[in-house]
Structure 1
Amino acid sequence: MAVLPLRICGDPVLHSPATEVSDFDDDLASLVQDMYETMAAAPGVGLAGPQVGVAKRLFVYDWTDDADVRHRGAAINPTLWIAPVPAGDADPETESEGCLSFPGERFPLRRSPRAILQAVDAAGESFEVRADGWLARIFQHEYDHLDGLLYVDRLTDGHARTAAKVERKRGWGVPGLTWLPGVDHLED
């Protein structure tokens, strides 16, 4: 197992739709394990293939809820069904999220409170997860990566302007930038 370098906003793989996974082999199993290790080292609660430079429709997640229930899995070739997103502005206290590909920043973003994830695991077995709250947010965030979207692409008004300023100040928005969890120290 290995910690993989994470792509930073601006890398083309993060801004293009990913393709379906077709080979369920030892290479896929190794990639999934490396993604779990990378996510833990970052630390994060989700990680999509494009974030590690793999333009395939897969993500991993690992999050423990307030009831101490651990939600962990690999979603390959997923479909995501979401309830309508509530109207209004996102609450900065309860609806802020971050991204390992826009590291060190958090912005409020309104997401659907419920989602149904349908996918297959690394062994090719189908599964379904009905999610509420933060787990639904994780699924939506990672699914966006598979469609070539970062959460900052969904920001509006002042938050979008602030994210654009951060991107310019840090020299992001260009191809080839990465960071290695557990090794690189990124300025806040």
Structure 2
Amino acid sequence: MTAPRRLGPSRLEHSFERLIWHFRLITLIPVVMSLLGSVSCFVIGTEAELRALSQVMQGRFNNSSSTLLIGEVVGGIDYYLIGIALLIFGYGIYELVISDIDPRLHDQSTVRRNLLSIESLDGLKQKLTKVIVVALIVTAFKSMVSFKVSTANELLMYCAGVLMLAFSAWLIGKVEKH
């Protein structure tokens, strides 16, 4: 008695699998939107940095307004970090779902070469988490620059905030080593 012969996939199955494969291209929408958002954040951050630089060059600051000026510079950096997070997201999703990106290498080797070394969705989440935590640290620093301490309770809250920022930076370093 012979075992039943398995034929190759049917035409319907093959057509459906091709449709599913092409449906991955819908991820181009979040890729393009995150890249446009990244450019927007870079433009907004650059505008904030140029505004602060203009005030410095014109000498329109004093001891009390310099704190606000530092906050504006840090705010520009915050926009840059958010832009980088959006760039990493768009780049990572494209590489995970669509294709590897590396215009420097035109050969078709089987070795996976991508700039961010994103091998899985978890790897993408880890890279994004690091950038987002750094952006949150910068945002907290921006708020703390203009924080006025007038009571012992406010001083304790300020110190607790600094300790939390230091702890989160330490945790990012620990995760990176593993």
TM-score range, shorter chain: under 0.3
Report the TM-score, using the length of structure 1 for normalisation: 0.22
Higher strand fraction: Structure 1 or Structure 2? 1
In proportion to residue count, which structure has more helix? Answer: 2
Larger Rg: 2
